[in-house]
Structure 1
Amino acid sequence: MKGLLIMKKSLTIALLLVVLLSAMPVKAASIEDWKDQILYFVFIDRFANGNKANDHEVDPSDINGFHGGDIAGLLNRLDYLEKLGVTGIWLSPFFTNRSARFFKHQPYHGYWVHDFWSVDPRFGSEGELVELRRRTSQNGMRLLLDMVVNHMGYDAPFAEANPEWFNPPLDIADWNDTEQLTNRRIFGLPDFASQKPVVKTFFKLVARHWIDLLQPDGFRLDAVKHVPLDFWQDFNSSVLAENGSDFLLLGEYLHGDPKAALEIWKKGKFNSLFDFPLYYSMKDVFAEGADMRRLASRIYFDRNYPDAGLLATFLDNHDLDRFITSCGGDERKYRLAMAFLLSARGIPVLCYGNEQGLAGAHNPEPENRRSMVFDQESELFKFTSELIELRKSSPALRRGLHCHLHADATSYAFARLMPDQLAIAVFNNGEESRQIDIALPFAGLPKLLDSKIGTTRALVRQGRLQMFLLAKSFAVFIVDSQPGQHEKSFRKWQKRFFNEKAWGTRTVTLKLKASYLPEKARVFFTGNFPELGDWSSEGRKALPMQKISDDEYVAIVKMPVGRIFEGKCFYRDEKQTVWQPGDNLIAEVADTGSEYIHMEWKNL
């Protein structure tokens, strides 16, 4: 075994000395085509067992053990995915993992790699992978491979033979320390010294090996925030140079701040990221009943991204609670979230079993990774398939510009606009049925619109959209249009999207009612734009509020019409900074109506 390791090490070092000359041919497709895709995450071990001959200590009742799923099982179930309607597969790692349990945990997930060059026999064979690629190509389905570059599995012989390729054996102690996140071990896993040229070249060779063999359409890139930025710059630039700009590099950057995601996207040279900021907002709104304006505020940030339509949106994954579990098992909430996922911008990604309502929390045991259920007659399967088919049939739902129409505490309405088609989505997240009556700034629409899902009918008159929506329900309207009918509207909204002030600015008065603040308190407002202080609690950056009576404070600020902003008041005195209790204010700078935005300080 030792001789084999030395031989493999020598071979690897020799390969690293070879100049990377043989570039892959550039494909004719465009990165834009990814907006037409609906991806599906296949967690190999938990999906389907197609070959019991490769079973190893299989026990489907053990959530930490192998359940027997393999590539053969996926091949047997491709017709299921085709009936569901998804257009691509993100495949969990299939590399050879450690052979035995680590304490009570088997390496069923594929992320404890021991050999990047071979297929784990418990998942199947190289030949089966090649057949999977042949079948998916034949059926027009895309394939994403899961690349693990941050670490190897516990006790990996390669790590023991090449200690200089790895960071010192220190675990992350402070998960808010960027240096520790990128240069220390995740729960003791051997952590590659990714800043070293030898490691960078090694993974470019690994990537080339699997691209040569399988011709995938992209990579899902694991644990982005645990790998130094210069590694991603080098790796992503190399892969794109060899395989074309349409090769998807989908980064898993687990962070809820869209500004942080934007920085990684640009500096790391990714062309897509999982949209964790939107995921957290969806969870707050649909699962926990938060203000629907949180979604509007989150999506308003889209103008800052290179292209928000290339963000991968999702309800859950193998590292998160199942969304239906977050919803407390309430299928109404779950359906509403699924409808939003499949009507909003982005590349929707379903986790295996989303269409069946698979449940389970991620902690203390990973019950979110239960075995797949295949039921093509379940109501959720039919519902999800119907939404997928609607998205696939509508260019506006796939690629249309997002146009904010209305948001309040329990409802949200937006349009997806293209020069030749208009789609409108309206959601009622409340527990009560309600009347919807909102401005609809598009000309030439029919007087009656029928939802493509469900039975809701809307009336269009005098520039307004009117309908009755049941509690926890939605409507999606696709407007039949003539070629170029919406060209003028599209250019207008597009101009505003790229130039926030294109529709003008307006002076807004923020008014706070606060009865019991300390006598010497200095009151400020801060929020998510520079004019509001960029969330700073420093008095010189935040917006000062003037006291105009015993219990009233005001601040005046000019902002672009149509802006959706968030903010909160706080006061400072000689001793402390105290934030206004409760949720952030979320408001829109309206083009008409009152210029006052009212707030109240309520001590909880």
Structure 2
Amino acid sequence: MLLEAIEHRPEGAMAHPLDVSSLKVRIRVKKGDAEAVGLFHGDRYQPEEQDQPMTLEKVACDGRFDWWEGVIPTETRRVRYVFWLEKGGKRWWYGEKAVVEKRSDAGAFQFAYICDGDRFDVPEWAQDAVVYQIFPERFANGDPDNDPEGTLPWNPASRPKPDSFYGGDLAGVIQKMPYLRDLGITAIYLTPIFLSPSNHKYNTDDYYQVDPHFGELETVKEMVHTAHAHGIRVIFDAVFNHSGAGFFAYRDVLEKGEDSPYRDWFRIDSFPVATKPEPNYETFANGVADMPKLMTHRPAVREYLLKVAEYWTREAGIDGWRLDVANEVDFAFWRAFRQRVRAIHPEALIVGEVWHDAGPWLRGDQFDSVMNYLFREAVCAFFAERSIDAKTFDARLAAARMRYPDQANAAMFNLLGSHDTERFLTLCGGDRRRMRMAVLFQLTYWGIPMIYYGDEVGMEGGPDPDCRRPMAWDPVDQDRDLWEWHRMLLSLRRELAPLRRGQIRTWVVEPDKGIYGFLRRQGMETVGVVLNNGIRRRRLILEAPDWEDGTHVRERLSDSRIQVKKRRIRFTLSPGESAIFTQD
């Protein structure tokens, strides 16, 4: 056994309370190295002789390591534990001191106390949510009277330029609420709606004013009220990493230079402030002059932005925030943000934009989840590009899951595309079969599905700004079969609790055949999902997880029944086909 590969820390994703009486622990071991893993646990203040044994389950393999986990019960909230690992009849002990052959030399890990103030509480509603991302300027034009000058005709086949306007607004969102409800959407996430000269609004000029081309404060309130009446929650987009060039503090610095009381709201190299040929101040990305970076560690900046978040949470009655460029803002700001927003709305969902490993932000004190681009990258590679096989796909998904606590995994925004990416169907080369498989996977996997507007009707588009075409509303421009596919799967997701709240385990991986399957379990109920991403029809014989011999399972897409024989189910999948199994 490669002892150097064994890893555990009594914190974060490797040790996190699920509630006040249970602690989930994970341990990493070299792939294939351990035949069995378990632990002994007890109250920190009780003698070791009273410790209780527990066997762990191997739950994932990320290609290099196996991951084992279990849930330790505790009545006192104080937990001590030591792992054991077996291979070839030999046992090793692993505690805080070392990995050794003698338990007394290993020491023990300590989770000192499950404190109420440190618990990772994700809003209850989030586990059942399906989110629909709306780019307001391109979703629907409900009020032509507020159109910007030079508004172009609404045409889903047009190719937007970076400065194109089509007249989408909040009145359009209000009018399309029945459409969203009928599709099965339970939450909408809108990209920024505050005053800004751009179509995307990520360069905010006034954080307290709705952009007049979208509507006004009363329009926002009507939109939120209408959404709630349709059973749909509303999530706003906050741009606190940087402002727009029209932001009052930035304008003051431009005018007064070193004499401006707002000079330390930004990081300025020298005075006077210069925007050309290159800005002499820090900006979003590299040299984006109209997006000066805000110094959120400054008390005045922090307080201003936190009050903005409080104002809209309270005034509009929204249900959460998506936080732009969240990984470039200091941790202390986000901790304060969570506390202030949750004080107003205890069930507000807080989601960060982080394109990489987001572990540092997902400890329960900052975000509930992030835009799950690790998920998207794996799905694009497997289904759209077919650049990885099922084994690699499974490993990448496993690696992503093991980075985060369960609470965060359950609330991840699992997206196929967004306003920042090429449309998924375009990545598939227009192949509807690949798109349908990816959608089925997205809507049955662990986390919150996030549908980018128009994907459900087969919209295409290349990289930004082409991925931001006006929404296709005319039925002749829509793929209604794809829309029905989304609606049917979302209905199934509502019906089957494991697809919303169940734990996930890999069921089948056949990399040479393109076969991939997984199980979702909640309590005594199990749902099995299998996809054929290969090029040939395959006959499959799979172990029945919790289904007894002689009973039947039901394949929900074809409404067919299969009898369990010798703890196996037998069925056939053609290329591009999927199956969803439940106990009949």
Same fold (TM over 0.5): yes
After superposition, where does 1:223-262 map in structure 2 within 5 Å?
A: 223-244=325-346, 246-255=347-356, 260-262=357-359
Match of 1:150 in 2: 241
Alignment partner for residue 443 of structure 2, among 317, 342, 356? Answer: 342
1:167–1:183 Cα change, 3 Å = farther
The one-letter amino acid paired with 2:144 is K
Alpha-carbon distance, 1:303 to partner: 4.1
The equivalent residue for 1:88 is 187
When normalised by structure 2's length, the TM-score is 0.70
Aligned counterparts of 1:194 and 1:348: Cα–Cα separation in 2: 31
Q: Match of 1:396? A: 498
Q: Contact 1:167–1:183 at 8 Å: present in 2 too?
A: no
Change (3 A) 1:67 1:181: closer
User: How far, CA to CA, are the matches of 1:83 and 1:402 in structure 2?
Assistant: 28
Q: Of the candidates 127, 131, 138, which is equivalent to residue 35 of structure 1? A: 127
2:544 aligned partner: 440
* Cα distance in structure 2, aligned partners of 1:423 and 1:267: 29
Report what 2:213 is aligned to: 122
- Indicate conservation of the 8 Å contact 1:97/1:114, yes or no: yes
Instruction: Name whichever of 291-300 and 84-93 sits farther off.
Output: 291-300
Could you say which residue in structure 2 is the equivalent of 1:166?
266
Q: Give the equivalent residue in structure 1 for 2:421.
A: 320
Say yes or no: does 1:77 pair with 2:77: no
Are residues 182 and 92 of structure 1, via their aligned partners in 2, closer, same or farther at CA, if it must alter by over 3 Å? closer
Q: CA 1:219/1:251 → structure 2, altered by over 3 Å: closer, same or farther?
A: same
Residue of structure 1 equivalent to 2:25: none
Inter-CA distance 448–357: structure 2 relative to 1 (3 Å threshold): same
State the SS of the aligned residue for 2:172.
helix
Structure 2: runs of 5+ lacking an equivalent: 1-120, 253-261, 271-281
- The answer for the alignment partner of 2:569 in structure 1 is 465
In structure 1, stretches of 5+ residues that fail to align are 1-28, 99-106, 171-179, 481-604
Q: Equivalent of 1:331, from 404, 429, 432?
A: 432
Instruction: Please state whether the residue corresponding to 1:461 is helix, strand or coil.
Output: coil
For 2:482 and 2:435, how far apart are their aligned partners in 1? 10
Mapped partners of 1:181, 1:334: distance in 2:
37
1:389 partner letter: S
* Map 1:8-407 → 2, pairs under 5 A: 31-56=123-148, 57-60=150-153, 61=158, 62-64=160-162, 65-98=164-197, 107-161=198-252, 162-168=262-268, 189-244=291-346, 246-255=347-356, 260-266=357-363, 269-289=366-386, 290-301=388-399, 302-307=401-406, 308-363=409-464, 366-374=465-473, 375=475, 378-407=480-509
Aligned partner of 2:391: which letter? R
User: How far did residue 77 of structure 1 move?
Assistant: 0.9
Structure 2 CA distance for partners of 1:181 and 1:305, relative to 1, 3 Å: farther
Give me the whole-angstrom Cα distance separating, in 2, the residues matched to 1:479 and 1:238.
45
Aligned to 1:476, the other structure's residue is in SS state strand
State the shift of 1:299 in Å: 3.2
Q: With structure 1 as the length reference, what TM-score do the two structures score?
A: 0.67
For residues 54-82 of structure 1, the C-alpha deviation after alignment (integer angstroms, 9 at most, x for no partner) is: 01121145433111000111111111111
The answer to which structure, 1 or 2, has the higher relative contact order (CA under 8 A, 6+ apart) is: 2
User: Alpha carbon RMSD of aligned pairs, Å?
Assistant: 2.4
Q: Deviations over 1:363-386 (max 9, x none)?
A: 5xx110000012377111111111
Whether the 8 Å CA contact 2:319–2:345 is kept in 1: the answer is no
SS across alignment from 2:362:
helix
| Pair 108,433 (structure 1): closer, same or farther in 2 beyond 3 Å | same
Is the contact between residue 369 and residue 411 of structure 2 (CA under 8 Å) also seen in structure 1? yes
**How far apart, in 2, do the equivalents of 1:354 and 1:445 lie?**
41
Instruction: Using the aligned pairs only, state the percent identity.
Output: 30
- Taking the aligned partners of 2:216 and 2:415, their CA distance within structure 1 comes to 30
Secondary structure, counterpart of 1:160 in structure 2: helix
Post-superposition offset of 1:416: 0.6
Distance in 2, matches of 1:321 and 1:184, equals: 22
2: CA distance, partners of 1:94 / 1:269: 23
State how far apart, in whole Å, the 1-side matches of 2:583 and 2:283 are.
48
- Give, in whole Å, the separation in 2 of the partners of 1:30 and 1:446: 41
Contact 2:140 2:168 in 1 (8 A): yes
Write the letter of the residue equivalent to 1:279. Answer: R
Distance in 1 between the 2:237 and 2:338 partners?
14
Partner SS for 2:209: strand
